[in-house]
Structure 1
């Protein structure tokens, strides 16, 4: 493989952004967040790897005892394994089909409610796994997305007061009723003294220590499951715990989310995507635990008013184009595009993307690998898919890939036989699941960015079902890819040459 062409310089895009410059002081603050976030993400990745190692740390003992009590209280020793396996399946891994009986689901929900924020976060994975898990599991944990137990108003205001300091005087009003309450943060509408409508996001107190000890406990649970169950071992549940840890720990620091917001704002503007926006953070009002940002219009695409007309085909094309172009051209993308995070303004037909706690970031080699993977997927080419994984660092560049190719090709041929050779959009998610299984069985790690990107493609299938149910999603995606590859300004023609 030749050296892949570099990605566009996000630093330069931030400096040129008119949307960022329109907020006094935001350009300089954005550059600071952008540069500091790179080091912070590296620290998080190392921390996640350490916490996910199945060892008995001193602060894990209390969490283990607490877990034991919760398991006893649910009267179901297998529930932690079922819950962890279902969450792993939600990112494309297949352990065993989780037990969808009413009794199992009820006990799993009791464990999540008793377990606190870490377990609610697992529930969020499950709740956004349409097409990957039985519908009963997805429905049972829908409450985890934005209906976690709300923090008392006095707690929220106390965190805001302590974190913002003197800047607190700029926040004139905070609505006592939350817009949503999740596992990590709770969001409220607010208003600045200058009249600007904002959203105030507050992190739950004491969360970092709780997450760390719970992740250590999950690592031990995964290791135990792999010793007891062949399916858990072949799915590499310990690898899933590391992925889960990295995503959760990144979400704990709202300064990282602020960096995702300003980077995405600059990228969408550079793309000319006037129909799609991310909220701009308010300078001087962002800390590790509090994030104040502009309020954008729109409602979840799943809650569009059916009595009002909307051009579903246009919404679908613009939505997919924005996601795919940002990913392949700039290497930065929203990492959790479920229905609650994609808002549509029915008056203008524009999009607001919210909740940027999780974002995918590709380097130049990974971008080339993703293009190579999509090409190989369309051709059911196992060798091309495995080689693409080397670009993601999932497989060492000097590894013997012959047995991996043979193993994956068997899986792909079975899929081809069942579909009579037809390539469908749904097959993309199934094929990725097979690839991740092959990697896991052979001890290779799950590439975070690839998992996030393909989860987004599955979300787009749900988006299509809501706004344009008769559209051919695969045809739309392929058309957009061909447009990007043919556009000399996109730089993707050079990427395919390098790949």
Structure 2
């Protein structure tokens, strides 16, 4: 750990393309290693293009298609929700990804207004509702329960639509599907998932993008950008929360999910990382070469059930599961800089017969470079020491704050917040306190015009997900002690 904190040039991360070349698991699928390398390299430019597009769409300007969206969606939304509902939706969704400490009050009337807005809006509104539905520990339970339908009850495509997309996208390759279940396994705001079987007997999952989704998302994001800018003019709380910054983050996450070629790159990169870690108990699905396009993703089927639905009578060692899960998340991040970006309960499956993990839905992934990895280590050390100066310096390593910006005021402001938190906690350091501390840091950065990098937000949200994971598999475990032991072990060898 001291090497990471003191080195002028942080130690390099392993090259993911080298891990792909050395992966036996990827090589076991004919042609996958070569295709994985293409996905890996092409995704670098693809993610950069998405980031530029998200920045443009999130700029609050009246584009021609935005005006059309306001004239249609805007009037429809005005008829079903109060004027403040868009601000309340953005505020609670930003809280659900860790960008706010205090979401709107969870009163029945407020929740009902925001629900009406989401039901009447386009797919981006439903996606925001999904953020809320997976915000356990970050927003009040009333919000999470009220928006569970966004995660579990997305409308299914009309019969035959999914198959038509597959035929159009895959062409002759669709003949490799010997069996396709017309009834979806799951339906979400982005796509629909079906079971299938290839002619060679491989059990697969087929993910299909909803038709016309990209255009709808873009106009929804433009409209949300205008709503956030208006809210920041009218509400001091909106300015403090930096809702315009959240819209850009949301746009980047959503637009990455709309290209399944980027998800295929996330899958093969993560498969190679997990294998290099020796995490044979933890798998990511392998995509099928020749059966991946922007709108269709065919990948192997992995067994398991959500950890939230585990059979309590199964002979599973909860402490072992907890340690395995935490190590998988933390080690992949700190050793390799690549990690699953949305580890809510529905994306972490456990095979009760073996105790192995399957990580699914890699539409969102986090990636750190060597300097950011060093910054993350520094932040975690500074958090444990209640050190505001160390936390601000870590944010400079992440690029959230320029190196030449004077930080004395920032440090003093954050230290006052941290001292107050520690006084309330009577000096105790708890796992939940990490989320509150991070929230205070985010607020200080937002008030001073700085924005939190996407990948750091994703990592900290994963840490907060671990609290819910612990409650499900090992409710009596000391999560903080487990995390600290794993961090010390890892940082001694990174």
Settle same-fold status: TM greater than 0.5.
Answer: yes
* Structure 1 residue 332: Cα displacement: 0.2
Instruction: Determine the structure 2 residue equivalent to 1:402.
Output: 408
Q: Which residue among 267, 276, 282 is the counterpart of 2:282?
A: 276
Output aligned runs, 1:404-423, within 5 Å.
Answer: 404-423=410-429
Unaligned runs of 5+ in 2: 1-6
Matched, 1:22 2:28: yes
Output aligned runs, 1:40-439, within 5 Å.
Answer: 40-94=46-100, 97-439=103-445
Tell me the alpha carbon deviations over residues 85-106 of structure 1, each in whole angstroms, 9 at most, x when there is no partner.
1111112223754132222222
* Alpha-carbon separation, structure 1, partners of 2:137 and 2:274: 29
Verify the 8 A CA contact 1:71 1:79 in the aligned structure 2. no
* Alpha-carbon separation, structure 2, partners of 1:330 and 1:93: 25
Verify the 8 A CA contact 1:333 1:361 in the aligned structure 2. yes
Tell me the alpha carbon deviations over residues 290-312 of structure 1, each in whole angstroms, 9 at most, x when there is no partner.
00000001000000112222100
* Alpha-carbon separation, structure 2, partners of 1:249 and 1:470: 39
* Alpha-carbon separation, structure 2, partners of 1:325 and 1:261: 17
* Alpha-carbon separation, structure 2, partners of 1:177 and 1:107: 33
Instruction: Determine the structure 1 residue equivalent to 2:3.
Output: none
TM-score (norm 2): 0.97
* Alpha-carbon separation, structure 2, partners of 1:205 and 1:480: 44
* Alpha-carbon separation, structure 1, partners of 2:366 and 2:310: 27
Cα RMSD after superposing both structures: 1.0
Tell me the alpha carbon deviations over residues 383-422 of structure 1, each in whole angstroms, 9 at most, x when there is no partner.
0000000111100011101000001001100110000010
Tell me the alpha carbon deviations over residues 259-282 of structure 1, each in whole angstroms, 9 at most, x when there is no partner.
000000001001100100000000
Matched, 1:486 2:492: yes
Tell me the alpha carbon deviations over residues 431-489 of structure 1, each in whole angstroms, 9 at most, x when there is no partner.
111111111110011211110000000101100000000000000000001111223xx
Q: Identify if the C-alpha distance between structure 1 residues 111 and 64 changes in structure 2 by more than 3 Å, giving closer, same or farther.
A: same
Verify the 8 A CA contact 1:240 1:446 in the aligned structure 2. no
Q: Which residue among 444, 457, 481 is the counterpart of 1:475?
A: 481
Q: Identify if the C-alpha distance between structure 1 residues 63 and 99 changes in structure 2 by more than 3 Å, giving closer, same or farther.
A: farther
Matched, 1:464 2:470: yes
Tell me the alpha carbon deviations over residues 63-100 of structure 1, each in whole angstroms, 9 at most, x when there is no partner.
11233223332141111111111111112223754132
* Alpha-carbon separation, structure 2, partners of 1:345 and 1:116: 36
* Alpha-carbon separation, structure 1, partners of 2:409 and 2:190: 42
* Alpha-carbon separation, structure 2, partners of 1:96 and 1:344: 33
Verify the 8 A CA contact 1:95 1:234 in the aligned structure 2. no
Q: Identify if the C-alpha distance between structure 1 residues 96 and 376 changes in structure 2 by more than 3 Å, giving closer, same or farther.
A: closer
Verify the 8 A CA contact 2:80 2:120 in the aligned structure 1. no
Instruction: Determine the structure 2 residue equivalent to 1:441.
Output: 447
TM-score (norm 1): 0.96
Verify the 8 A CA contact 1:342 1:352 in the aligned structure 2. yes
* Alpha-carbon separation, structure 2, partners of 1:104 and 1:66: 24
Aligned residues between the structures = 488
Tell me the alpha carbon deviations over residues 341-393 of structure 1, each in whole angstroms, 9 at most, x when there is no partner.
00000100000000000000000000000000000000000000000001111
Secondary structure of 1:153's counterpart equals coil
* Structure 1 residue 251: Cα displacement: 0.4
